[in-house]
Structure 1
Amino acid sequence: MTFQLSVTELANMVDHTLLKADAQKAGFEKLCQEADEYGFKMVAINSAPVALCSELLKESPVHVGAAIGFPLGQTTIAAKVFEVADAIKNGADEIDYVINIGELKEGNLAYIEQEMKKIVAACQANNVLSKVILENCYLTNEEKIAVCEIAKRVKPDFVKTSTGFGTGGATIADVKLMKETVGAEVKIKAAGGIRDFATAKAMVEAGAERLGTSSGIKIINEYKSFVKEA
């Protein structure tokens, strides 16, 4: 299969990520500058630096994405909804939230659906994109399918493979499984362990339409070399 995306199109699928606990102002300034320079879709950050990044990117088409309930998902629905509202107030125009993995493992699908409905509704009311993080490394295929089937009903913009902080990241098998389940109803974001162009290409070919990575610059530079040599 020939990879059809241009360098610009691939860059516009990248969520440029800085989610480290010790991240500081200079790091966020660099992140935003790089995202604008390379034409990445979004900067993926925790909710505290949203106002800073929103100000830094106010003249740029790059989106500001807040990670909610991150990375464990073990906060209440009310806390997550509050964090979503606070992030949006501070300038976030995309939200990536982590589901309550424990409730899913307990088989409490009604809780997962209620959580998703409330967060997606809060995003839709503000014209903000919503992404649901499953953290697949902890889930059975049946559990992954169950969340994706809920997503088909609730209609967030994306379902996402991983936080990058679990015991494993995105896999081709998971991206394919998620895409097969949601079909055209919801898009797929692959994140976690995407560190080179070969991996990024494989994720896109499996069905991912966004890539969460801190290696976006390396990926794009590798693709530029690949295109030049082709």
Structure 2
Amino acid sequence: MSRSTPIIVPEMSILNPARLIDHTLLKPQTTLKQIEQLCEEAVEWGFAAVCVPPAFVERAVACLYGSETAVASVVGFPCGYDSTTSKVRQTEELGSLGCTEIDMVISIGLALSGEFARVEDEIAQIVLASAGAKVKVIIECCYLDRLQKIALTDAVVRAGAAYVKTSTGFGPSGAKVEDVHLLAETAQGRIGVKAAGGIKSLNDLRLMSVAGASRIGTSSGVEIMRQWVASL
């Protein structure tokens, strides 16, 4: 999505964009105090989920106890090249700590090698290990061509995950409208699409939603909500 030429979409009937947002903080320098603030903001605004590093899952679960905000964390993040066994163990541990949503990174190198069956098998093992938690599969679109994105979205569907996700936010580029549209067009409603990476404004969120995203990963959730309130 170009920053030099902003695209403005017509006003949408987003009654409350908060329910689209995964309020995210995954920087390596993240502190416990910042996680607590993240959770307070999530409850205040009613975000769908917080997405936090594995080391902070227990505190996030405690902070959000009794709220409607889910706790998500990451597996194989951000590079995706952990072994499948390691990813399965990570998933099981996060579930035992109270995560109800898992954002996993595929083995990008295997995907680029055309080993889609192996990628699909890994996703299926993560889904099984998640014990009912929603699994969002990050395919890191910036490294893929159109046919690879289509093949991987179909693999995510067959493996039983809940969402295909555009990006980690740590790659060369984040979510792009055209990628979200392609993933949504391929998924055909069988799974959701999560857009993440570089989404910083209400207009960004609207663009991604129009393109087909049903979840938005962003560290700018509070600013987006303030923009939404100001637009009412």
Shared fold by TM > 0.5?
yes
Q: Offset of 1:127 from its aligned partner?
A: 2.3
Quick one: distance in 1 between partners of 2:207 and 2:70?
Answer: 24
RMSD: 0.9
Percent of matched pairs sharing the same residue:
38
Paired residue total: 223
Q: Offset of 1:111 from its aligned partner?
A: 1.0
Q: Offset of 1:2 from its aligned partner?
A: 4.4
CA contact (8 A) 1:169 1:193 kept: yes
- Listed one character per residue, the Cα deviations across residues 148-172 of structure 1 (whole Å, up to 9, x for unaligned) are 1112222311000000000000000
Quick one: distance in 2 between partners of 1:151 and 1:100?
Answer: 13
Q: 1:18 aligns with which of 2, 17, 25?
A: 25
Q: 1:152 aligns with which of 140, 151, 157?
A: 157
- Which residue number corresponds to residue 52 of structure 2? 45
Q: How does 1:1-230 map to 2 (within 5 A)?
A: 2-7=11-16, 10-123=17-130, 126-227=131-232
Which secondary structure does the structure 1 equivalent of 2:167 belong to? coil
- Listed one character per residue, the Cα deviations across residues 1-33 of structure 1 (whole Å, up to 9, x for unaligned) are 5411213xx101100011010111101110100
- Listed one character per residue, the Cα deviations across residues 31-86 of structure 1 (whole Å, up to 9, x for unaligned) are 10001101001111121111111111112111100111100001000100000000
Which secondary structure does the structure 2 equivalent of 1:49 belong to? helix
Quick one: distance in 2 between partners of 1:190 and 1:155?
Answer: 19
Aligned partner of 1:183: which letter? Q
CA contact (8 A) 1:46 1:68 kept: no
- Which residue number corresponds to residue 7 of structure 2? none
TM-score normalised by length of structure 1:
0.95
Q: Offset of 1:109 from its aligned partner?
A: 1.0
CA contact (8 A) 2:135 2:162 kept: yes
Which secondary structure does the structure 1 equivalent of 2:26 belong to? coil
Quick one: distance in 2 between partners of 1:211 and 1:20?
Answer: 17
List alignment gaps of at least 5 residues for structure 2.
1-9
Which secondary structure does the structure 2 equivalent of 1:48 belong to? helix
Quick one: distance in 2 between partners of 1:192 and 1:182?
Answer: 20
Quick one: distance in 2 between partners of 1:147 and 1:97?
Answer: 14
CA contact (8 A) 1:103 1:111 kept: yes
Quick one: distance in 2 between partners of 1:127 and 1:108?
Answer: 26
- Listed one character per residue, the Cα deviations across residues 99-145 of structure 1 (whole Å, up to 9, x for unaligned) are 0000001111121011111011222xx22111000111111111111
Aligned partner of 2:201: which letter? D
